[in-house]
């Protein structure tokens, strides 16, 4: 079944993660995404590994499904001419070059809008397009450090990055939101506009309560491991055969949870969230003494029956084998041109009344060059007729 963005054409000049993740989302939603890659090498992530499977990078496979690939040398006259033809046919262009690169290739914003006034342009950078460090290059891990995320992640005193490219993924999500807003605006104005975001902006924009701890209370947040900095009990706890997570985020939950672990909910030491947070170590010790009397599975069953949020800590393989993950369409099978049938992480959005769509594998480098060029020629012939 076609997605809600059926008929939308996206020219994807991006590479690595943030831009490709954004265009993959648009492709999941039904847009036609034409990925423009450098001949011979293509997207850098094609060479990122291990792991490789029969020479194919699993990193590249993670954010390029449902796209077509065309190989173009944008520094050549022929490549620039094809890009101009693509721009004329496109609704959206996505790029994450360093500031000024697209201008030097002969495609500043002014020219792009001369070619196609309705074009929506998403531009993603590491640290922003202007300011004292505008144009500075940045990868995800660097942005996590510079934007404060590492300082509030991991065990106390041990700055740690998140175990996936979270700055890139956040930037992709913000970019998609900006694109959709600009497309909606275009319905009124008839013109496209430029949407800008960065890894820095996307992490700072996700600071939430950690940001206001400083901006309002002038309290510098620090990492507290798996505990919540403001709420207790909320984190990981040891039981007889392992570790589980428990989240007691309000007084109603506390009154249900406390008797389960032998505590009086009205004990003045723990009666309210501020008192529990202030005595977190004592509270954790009291809880773990009770949890040590039974297994993780038994406690999870009890907590679920009481309506207390709790969960296991799954490894990645366990997540993809979990029936709940598969029931939500979060694993999709595609037929890769060289690997055959493979499974990929699936899209996080679903629409009521829509059958699950068929997905296509991340393309080989230049796999669709001839078909895309033929499509351009057909459309140009029709317009000239």
H/E stretch holding 197: strand 194-198
CA dihedral 273, 275, 277, 281 (to 10 degrees): -140
Compute the distance between CA of residue 246 and CA of residue 262 in angstroms, rounded to an integer: 16
- Is 168 marked active-site? yes
| Catalytic entry in 28, 140, 168, 227 | 168
Find the helix packing angle between 166-189 and 18-28, rounded to 10°: 50
Q: What secondary structure letter does DSSP report for 225?
A: T
| Tokens 């599975």 -> residue | 297
DSSP of 326-371, one letter per residue?
HHTT-EEEEEETTTEEEEEE--S---TTPPPPP--PPPPTTTTHHH
Strands 92-95 and 120-125: parallel
CA dihedral 325, 161, 126, 27 (to 10 degrees): -10
Q: Which residues are catalytic?
A: 168
């Amino acid at each position: 079944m076609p997605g809600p963005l059926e008929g939308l054409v996206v020219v994807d000049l991006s590479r690595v993660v943030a831009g490709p993740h954004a265009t993959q989302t648009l492709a999941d939603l039904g847009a036609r995404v034409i990925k423009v890659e450098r001949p011979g090498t293509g997207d850098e992530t094609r060479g990122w590994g291990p792991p490789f499977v029969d020479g194919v990078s699993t990193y590249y496979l993670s954010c390029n499904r449902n796209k077509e690939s065309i190989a173009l040398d944008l520094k050549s006259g022929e490549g620039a001419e094809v890009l101009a033809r693509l721009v004329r046919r496109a609704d959206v262009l996505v790029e994450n070059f360093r500031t000024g690169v697209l201008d030097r290739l002969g495609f500043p914003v002014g020219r792009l809008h001369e070619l196609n006034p309705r074009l929506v342009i998403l531009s993603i950078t590491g640290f922003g397009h202007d300011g004292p460090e505008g144009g500075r290059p940045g990868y995800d891990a660097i942005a996590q450090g510079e934007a404060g995320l590492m300082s509030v992640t991991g065990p106390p005193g041990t700055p740690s990055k998140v175990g996936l490219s979270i700055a890139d993924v956040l930037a992709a999500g913000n970019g998609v939101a900006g694109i959709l807003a600009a497309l909606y605006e275009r319905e009124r104005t008839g013109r496209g506009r430029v949407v800008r975001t960065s890894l820095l902006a996307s992490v700072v924009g996700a600071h939430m309560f950690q940001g206001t701890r400083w901006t309002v209370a002038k309290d510098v947040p620090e990492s507290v491991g798996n505990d919540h900095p403001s709420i207790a009990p909320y984190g990981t706890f040891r039981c007889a055969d392992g570790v589980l997570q428990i989240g007691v985020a309000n007084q109603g939950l506390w009154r249900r949870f406390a008797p389960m672990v032998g505590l009086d909910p009205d004990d003045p030491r723990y009666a309210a969230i501020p008192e529990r947070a202030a005595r977190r170590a004592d509270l954790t010790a009291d809880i773990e003494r009770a949890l040590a009397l039974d297994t993780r599975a038994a406690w999870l069953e009890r907590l679920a029956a009481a309506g207390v949020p709790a969960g296991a800590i799954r490894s990645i393989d366990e997540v993809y084998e979990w029936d709940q993950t598969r029931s939500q369409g979060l694993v999709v099978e595609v037929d890769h041109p060289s690997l055959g049938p493979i499974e990929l992480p699936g899209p996080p959005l679903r629409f009521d009344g829509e059958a699950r769509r068929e997905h296509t594998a991340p393309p080989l480098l230049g796999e669709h060059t001839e078909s895309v060029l033929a499509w351009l020629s057909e459309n140009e012939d029709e317009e000239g007729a």
